[in-house]
Structures are given as C-alpha cells and as structure tokens.
Amino acid sequence: MAQRYFTVTWDQLHRDAKALAWRLNSLGPWQGIVAITRGGLIPAAIVARELECRLIETICVVTYDEETRGEPRIIKPAAASGAGEGWLIIDDLVDSGTTARQVRALLPKAHFATVYAKEQGKPVVDTFITEVSQDTWILFPWDTEPQFIAPLARQPV
C-alpha cells in the first residue's frame, strides 16, 4: 500500500494532459493514438483534441485490483496500429514500468507518453509531464469523490 496519496482534480488532469499535448505537438504529425485503458482514455481524449488527431485505438490491460498490483494481462491488443510507427501511446501514469514494457513490446515503434511518471517507470516512456515519488498513490478524479477531510494538524503523523 502507498505511503502517501496525491489527489489529482479534473482541472489539474486537464491542464497536465494539455501540457503533454504541447510537448508532443512538435514531434508529430501523428498517424493515431493508442490509449491504454482505462487510465489512459481521458488523457488520450484531451491529447487527441489538442493535436486534432481523429484516429484513436485502445489497448486494454488489466494490472491493478484496487491498490494491489498483479502481472499485466493484455485483454485487447491495439490491432490498427501495427508496430506503432507514427503512433502515440498515451497513459495516465507509468509506475513500475511493467505495463509499459509489455505495451512497448507490442508497439516498439510508437512514441510512449504519460501524464505522470514514477522513478522506476520513467526509463520506459519517451515523454511525461510530472514526476511523482515511487511511494505515492495517485488518486485520479474518476476514482474519487469530494468529501470532508480533517486538517493535517488533526491527523496522526
């Protein structure tokens, strides 16, 4: 289990995904985008809009059950993208790099980009926006809902 949590809001995710698109824009043009489901779907939609890319493919990978990481299983490959030449792979986060390595093996010629990256996964991706520590669990907006939280001063250290 993570030692600390980092909550990402919808607004922050949108800004960070748009910043990712800014970085990727000069590297294109792109033939299409492969979104890693499920976490990469929303960042991929934002990047696709900003880069005016209409061809979107998915690769479906199951890795986590809540906060427990297992071995990644590809349950749907990205058939339309071939070996990935001219394609972008988009995900929300690269953590240990295990999923990223599996996807990269299937699409070795694609450019791999994530919004967030942890230290162990950074070497596997080509582009990312924000680095977070390895012991941080990112709470994405699709996994959370607003609620009251006690001030830090009242929480145990």
- pLDDT score of 1 more than 60: no
Which of these is catalytic: 11, 91, 126, 143?
Answer: 91
Active site residue 92: yes
To the nearest whole number, what is the mean pLDDT of the chain? 91
| pLDDT 10s digits, 16-29 | 999 999 999 999 89
Which of these is catalytic: 11, 65, 95, 126?
Answer: 95
Please, which pLDDT band fits residue 69 given cuts at 50, 70 and 90?
low
Q: Is 96 exposed, middle or buried (0-12, 13-18, 19+ CB in 10 A)?
A: middle
Active site residue 95: yes
Which of these is catalytic: 92, 126, 135, 143?
Answer: 92
Q: Is 118 exposed, middle or buried (0-12, 13-18, 19+ CB in 10 A)?
A: buried
Active site residue 135: no
**3: phi then psi, degrees, rounded to nearest 5:** -85, -25
Domains, the chain, ranges and CATH?
4-139 (3.40.50.2020)
pTM for this predicted structure: 0.86
Question: What number is the average pLDDT over the span 51-65?
Answer: 89
